[in-house]
């Protein structure tokens, strides 16, 4: 069973629909025991960084996410679910992130239209990966965001993407996987990525 973390917002339904299509059993839940007892965990975040962090704290889910990672359960963060793994965000300076990884979430500095909405390419920079098995380099995936993590530990960066500037669009470290793009909205490529995660 795969737990999709429910914090009262986010695109949990579209993630579940994608997993249903792939025939993987999943459940949208905020129950701590269900999350900790599941085989894998997906955290799809959408919206304002501060609002997401407040809801996670209110439901005591940050400690659950940390525990999931600590016990080496496969974990996938999506969009703000990726950003929440870091220490802070320019979007909500007064709200701390989980601090699982070092780095700050920053706003695009380029003159291109913000947010970035639509398809863009991912360049694979770490060849020792599992999440992108059989995914061609420079594949197109779907983005909706104005911010991205400035990842301090460059060794965990899995892909980079160019949008007026280069940013880390995905990371992979041990049992933790996270993407700034939305695999559940990225067509066949996204479904392959989700299938890879479910097979880990």
Report the greatest alpha carbon distance in the chain: 45
The answer to whether 82 and 149 are in contact (CB under 8 A) is: yes
Provide the token pair at 114. Answer: 């913000």
| Active-site annotation holds for 184 | yes
Write down the catalytic residue from 91, 145, 172, 182.
182
145: annotated active-site residue:
no
- Identified catalytic residue from 55, 91, 184, 198: 184
Which strand ranges, in their side-by-side order, compose the sheet holding 147-151? 88-89, 103-107, 147-151
198 flagged as catalytic: no
Catalytic residue among 79, 91, 145, 172: 79
Q: Which tokens sit at 48?
A: 């304002």
Tokens for 64?
Answer: 């659950």
Q: Which residues form the catalytic set?
A: 79, 182, 184
């Amino acid at each position: 069973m795969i737990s999709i973390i429910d914090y009262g917002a986010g695109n949990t339904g579209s993630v579940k629909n994608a997993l249903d299509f792939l025939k993987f059993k999943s459940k949208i839940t905020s129950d701590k025991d269900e999350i900790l007892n599941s085989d894998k965990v997906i955290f799809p975040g959408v919206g304002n960084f501060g609002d997401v962090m407040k809801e996670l704290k209110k439901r005591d889910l940050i400690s659950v996410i940390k525990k999931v990672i600590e016990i080496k359960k496969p974990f996938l963060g999506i969009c703000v679910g990726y950003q929440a793994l870091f220490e802070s965000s320019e979007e909500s300076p007064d709200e701390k992130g989980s601090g699982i990884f070092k780095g700050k979430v920053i706003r695009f500095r380029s003159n291109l239209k913000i947010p970035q909405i639509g398809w863009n390419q991912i360049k694979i920079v770490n060849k020792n990966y599992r999440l992108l098995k059989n995914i061609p380099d420079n594949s197109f995936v779907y983005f909706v965001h104005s911010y991205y993590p400035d990842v301090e530990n460059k060794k965990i960066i899995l892909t980079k993407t160019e949008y007026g500037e280069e940013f880390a669009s995905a990371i992979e470290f041990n049992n933790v996987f996270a993407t700034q793009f939305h695999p559940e909205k990225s067509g066949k490529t996204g479904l392959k990525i989700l299938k890879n995660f479910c097979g880990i």
